[in-house]
A and B are shown apart, each in its own frame.
Chain A
Amino acid sequence: MRKKNIFLICIFIMVFPSGCNDRQELEQQSYVVAIGVDKAEEEDKYDFTYQIANPEVGSSSSQGGTNEPPSEIVTITGNDVLTATYTANAFVSKKITLDHTKVIIVSEELARDENFLRVLQAAARTPQIRRGVELIVSKEKAREFIQLNKPVTETRPHKYFLSILNRVTRSGLSPNSELHRFFQITEGDADLFLSTYASAIPSEEGEGNEDEYLAGQIPKLGGSPTQFMGAAVFKEGIMIDTLNGHETRLVNILDPTMDIENFITTFKDPIEPKFRVSIGYSQDKDPNISITYNKDKPSLIEVTVDFKAEVIAIPSLVDYSQNPDYQKRLINQIISELEEQTNKLIEKSQKEYGTDPFYWSLFVRKHFLDVKAYEKADWNKVIYPNAKIKVRYNLQNLEFGKMLNDTSLEEVRD
C-alpha cells in the first residue's frame, strides 16, 4: 500500500511540470479573428496580417481600457501562417492563437498568383485553423481591407464577420466559401470554386439593377465602407475571374450543395416595360440535375429548378393579382429572364472558364465504376465544355403578399 503511494507520488511529481507545456492561461493568449494574406515584395514570402481581438472592449468588466481600440492589427512577413505568428511575438505581448479565426482574407493579387495554393495548404495543415473558416478575396490588399474595415455597430470584429457572412450567403449574394469546400473542389479538380468577394474601398459606382454589382461598386451613403458582393472564381486553385452578385445568385440557385433561402429581386414589367416588378424568390428544394453521359457525342445535362415567387411591389400599378392574363405574362417574363441569364452564365462558363461553377461533376460520377475511368472521361476538359445544357425554371406558385390590389394612382389624384 505504502509503496504504491510513493510510486504514485513519484509519477505525479514527474508529470506535473511537463503538464505545463500545453497549459496556457487565457489572458496570456491573443485571439486572432481574421487573417489577411498578401504577396510580399520578396519572392515566395507573404505578408500576414492578423486582426487580434481586444477582450476588454465590449465586455462588461468594470475595469479597464475602454479607450483601447476593439482590435489590434499587425502585419508580418513570413513563410507561412504559423511561423509568422511566432515572429509576430516580437511585438505582440501574448501568444497568438488562431483557434478562433473566422475568416482568411486574401488579396486578389495573391489569389491570381499560382503560389496561392501553397499558402493556403500550409494554413490548412495546422489543426488550429478549422475547415469551417471562410475564404474571402478582397479587391485591395488584405491588409488594407482589414485596416479599413470599421464596422459601425458591431464593435467586436468576430461578431461582425459572423453576421455579415451569414447574411450575404443566405441572401445568395456571395457563395459559401468554407475552406473545406475549397479543398474538396480544388483537389477534386473538376469544378470551379467560388469565394466571397469583398472590398473596403469604394470604386467607381457600377450601373445596373439591384444585384448586378461587384463589391465596392454599390452606390450607397453612410455605413461601413466594406462591401461583400459577388464572387471570385477559382480554377484549379487560381483565381481567374469575378462574378457579380446576380451571377453568384444564379450559381447558388443551380448548385444543389448550396443553401439559398430567399431573396428579393426585380424583373422587367411585361406590361409597362419602363418599370420593374419586385419579386421575392424562394426555393425549398434543391434543383434536380440529370446528366446523360455519352461517351462519343456531347453529353446532355438537364436541370430543373422548382421555385416560388411572391410579388412584393408593382410600381407600375398594373393589376396583376386579379387579371389572369397579366399574371401569365408576368410568369413568362420571370422565367424567360431567369433562363436567359442562366444560359448566358452557362455559356460563359463553357467557353471562358472551361468548366462549371455549379459542382455538377458530382452527378456525372455515377456513370463510372472507378476513379480511373472517371478521370479519363475528364469532366472539365471534355464533358462539360461540350455538353448540351438545358435549364428549366418551374414556377410552383405565385403569391401576392398581404395586399390584394394596389390603389390606382389616377383615383388618388382625382
Chain B
Amino acid sequence: MSPFFQAEKSTSETDMPIPTSISNRLEINIEQMKELFSFKVNKDFSYRSFVIHFNKKQATIFYYSSIVNGDKINETILKPLLEEDGRDLSNIITIENLLVLNDYKQIIKHINSGKAVLFVDGDSSVYSLDVADFQHRVITKAENESVIKGPQDAFTESLNVNLSLIRKQMHDRQLISEGMQVGVRSKSEINLLYVKDLVNEEILNNVKKRIEDISVDSIRNVELLEQYLEERPYSIVPTILYTERPDKATAYLEDGFIVILMDTSSACLIVPVTFWSFFHSPEDNYLRYLYGNFSRMIRLLCFYLTTMISATYVAISNFHSEMIPPDLLLAITASREYVPFPLIFEVLIMEIAFEIIREAGIRIPNPLGPTIGIVGALILGQAAVEANIISPIIVIIAALSGLSSFAISDININFTVRLTKFIFILAAGLFGMLALIGVFLLWFMYLASIKSFGVSFFAPLSPHFKSANDTFFRKAIKKQIFRPGQIKPQDMTKRPKDSN
C-alpha cells in the first residue's frame, strides 16, 4: 500500500460532514464553522466576535484574512455595527454588496471566494459581505501580442479588472457577463461574456452545456479550461482562440462571438473560431486599409515560409535539382561539398537547433536571456558552418523559417505551424514534391474539415457566408458592413437599421 493511498483515506475519514442547517444559537454556529475550516491549523482563517450596538446581540464574523480587505471590514462592517443606530442590519452596514445565506454549502463557497460571513445570535440566516480583495498584478502592456498602433493594455489576473477593461471599450447594456461555476472541490467562477442581442443562442447553449458537462475537481484557469472545452484534444489544430488583449476580445464580442473569462488568468478564450481568427491581428484593423493589408500579405508569406520553405528546399534539392538556376545550384553544391550529412539531415539539425534555442529562450531567466540568445543563434550557426557540419545556405533557410514563425503571434497556431513544418520536411525527404504536395493537400483538407463549435475552419471563404469577407485581406472599414455570417449572429449588419 502506498502512503499516498493511506493518507487520502485518513483525510476522508476525519472530514466532517457539512451540517445541513444553521442553528439559532451563535455558539453552535461558531463551533461548526471552526470545525469546517479547521480553525486550529488553518492560519489565515479568522473570526471576530462582538456585540452589535443597535440590538445588543452577539455577532461573529468569519473570513480568510488573506483574501479580504481588512480596512474595508473595519470601515464598512465593524465600525457601523459597533457605533451606529438603525432599524436593521442592512441599513447599518455600509458595504455595497450584502447577501443573505441559508445553508453551510453557500457559506463555504462565499468564504472561499473572499467574502466575510456574519453570524448573529438568535438568527438562522447569515449575512455574506463582499470584502474580497484577491491580490493580482496591475494592468501591464500586452507582451505576447504586441502592436505598435493600438491600445497597449492587457488582461490581468482579475476578473473584475478584466471586465472593466472590456466594458470600458463597449458601452452596451446588452453586453452580458454571465457567471458559471466549474469544479467540484474548488469551485471556480467562469464568466461568459456576450452581447445578448447578437450572439447565436445555439452556440451559446453549446458552450454552456460543455462547461456544465465538465466534472472535475478543479479548473484553475482558462488555459486548462481551454483543453476541457475543445472537441479534439489530439488534433494539431486549435479550435479556441486565446488572447491577452481586451481590444481583440471586444472586437470579437461586437461581432457576436463569446468570450470566456476567469479570475485567475491574464487572458480570455474566444469561441467559435476560424482559421482567420488566428491569422488576423487586431492591428490589421487599426492600420489604414493599405497598410493593414500589406501587413496581412507579409504574414501570409510568413505562413508559407515557416511551413514550407525547409520542406521545399529539401524536395527541390533532393529530387528536382533541375529547377534551381545554374548559378545557385553550383553555389549550393560547392558549399555542400564538405558536409558529411545528407541534406535532409542537415535541415533537421538546423530546425531542431532553432527549436532548442527557442524553447531555452523562453525558460531562460530574464537577465540572461539576450546574451544566451545571441550566443546560441550566432555562434552555433557560425561555428557549425565553419566546422563543415552544415552548409551556409541551410542557416539562411532555417533562420528564415524560424524568423517568419514569429510573425504568427498566436501561440496555438504557432505550434501548429511549427509541428506541420516537420511533417512537411519528412514528406519532402520521402518523395519530393509528390509527397510534399500530397501531404500538404491532406493537411489542408484536414483543416477544412475541422469545426469549432459547429463553425467550419475556413468559413466564410468556403463554405461561403455573407460577411465582411475579412479573410486573406480586409475591406475598408466603412465597407465592412456585415458581421461574420458563419456564426449566424442575430443581427447581421453593423449599421443602425434606420440608416439603411
Contact = CB atoms under 8 A, between A and B. Distances in A.
A27 B318 contact: no
A22 B428 CA distance: 12
B334 A22 contact: no
B326 A158 contact: yes
Contacts of A219: none
A25 B343 contact: yes
A29 B331 contact: no
A19 B337 contact: no
Given A25-B318, A99-B322, A100-B326, A19 B435 contact: yes
A63 B431 CA distance: 32
B430 interface: yes
A128 B343 CA distance: 23
A55 B329 CA distance: 8
Contact of B430 (A15, A31, A33, A156): A15
A297 interface: no
Interface of B: 317-319, 321-322, 326-327, 329-339, 342-343, 388, 392, 429-432, 435
A124 to B, nearest CB: 16
A131 to B, nearest CB: 14
A158 B327 CA distance: 9
21 contacts: A16-B430, A19-B430, A23-B319, A24-B319, A24-B321, A25-B343, A26-B318, A26-B336, A27-B333, A33-B326, A56-B334, A61-B392, A63-B338, A63-B388, A97-B321, A99-B321, A99-B322, A128-B322, A156-B327, A156-B330, A159-B326
A22 B432 contact: yes
Contacts of B336: 25-27
Interface in A40-74: 53, 55-56, 58-61, 63-64
A26 B332 contact: yes
A159 B318 contact: no
A98 to B, nearest CB: 9
Secondary structure at the B interface, as helix, strand, loop or mixed, is: helix
Given A23-B429, A53-B326, 18 more contacts: A15-B430, A16-B430, A19-B435, A22-B319, A23-B319, A25-B318, A25-B343, A26-B332, A27-B336, A31-B329, A55-B334, A55-B337, A59-B335, A61-B334, A63-B337, A63-B338, A64-B338, A100-B322
B258 to A, nearest CB: 31
Nearest to B388: A63
A29 B321 contact: yes
A61 B329 contact: no
Contact of A26 (B321, B429, B435): B321
Contacts of A59: 330-331, 334-335
A99 B342 CA distance: 21
B478 to A, nearest CB: 47
Contacts of A31: 326, 329-330, 333
Contacts of A97: 321-322
Nearest to B323: A99
A25 B326 contact: no
B10 to A, nearest CB: 40
A27 B337 contact: yes
Interface of A: 12, 15-16, 19, 22-27, 29, 31, 33, 53, 55-56, 58-61, 63-64, 97, 99-100, 128, 156, 158-159
A31 B328 CA distance: 12
B327 A159 contact: yes
B431 A19 contact: yes
A64 B326 CA distance: 20
B334 A64 contact: yes
A183 B338 CA distance: 42
Contacts of B430: 12, 15-16, 19
Contacts of A55: 329-331, 333-334, 337
A33 B392 CA distance: 25
Q: Which 7 A-B pairs have the closest CB atoms?
A: A99-B322, A55-B333, A59-B334, A55-B330, A55-B334, A19-B430, A27-B336
A29 B343 CA distance: 14
A218 to B, nearest CB: 29
Contacts of B333: 26-27, 29, 31, 55
A22 B318 CA distance: 8
A104 to B, nearest CB: 16
Contacts of B321: 24, 26, 29, 97, 99
A156 B329 CA distance: 13
A24 B342 CA distance: 9
Contacts of B431: 15, 19, 22
A53 B333 CA distance: 11
B337 A25 contact: no
Given A15-B431, A19-B430, A55-B331, A26 B317 contact: yes
Contacts of A24: 318-319, 321
A97 B323 CA distance: 12
A19 to B, nearest CB: 5
A27 B342 CA distance: 10
A61 B343 contact: no
A61 B327 contact: no
B318 A23 contact: yes
A61 B322 CA distance: 21
A250 to B, nearest CB: 34
Contacts of B435: 19
B310 to A, nearest CB: 15
A25 B334 contact: no
In this complex, the member of B333, B430, B432 whose beta carbon has the largest number of chain A beta carbons within 10 angstroms is B333
Contacts of A99: 321-322
Contacts of A156: 327, 330
A192 B261 CA distance: 81
Nearest to A99: B322
Nearest to A94: B333
Given A24-B318, A26-B317, A100 B337 contact: no
A25 B331 contact: no
A97 B435 CA distance: 23
- Give the residue among A59, A64, A156 with the most B Cβ atoms within 10 A: A59
A59 B392 CA distance: 13
Contacts of B322: 97, 99-100, 128
A22 to B, nearest CB: 6
Contacts of B429: 19, 23
Contacts of B392: 61
Contacts of B337: 27, 55-56, 61, 63-64
A99 B319 CA distance: 12
Nearest to B431: A19
Contacts of A33: 326
A60 B317 CA distance: 19
B406 to A, nearest CB: 29
Contacts of B331: 55, 59-61
Nearest to B316: A26
A286 B392 CA distance: 49
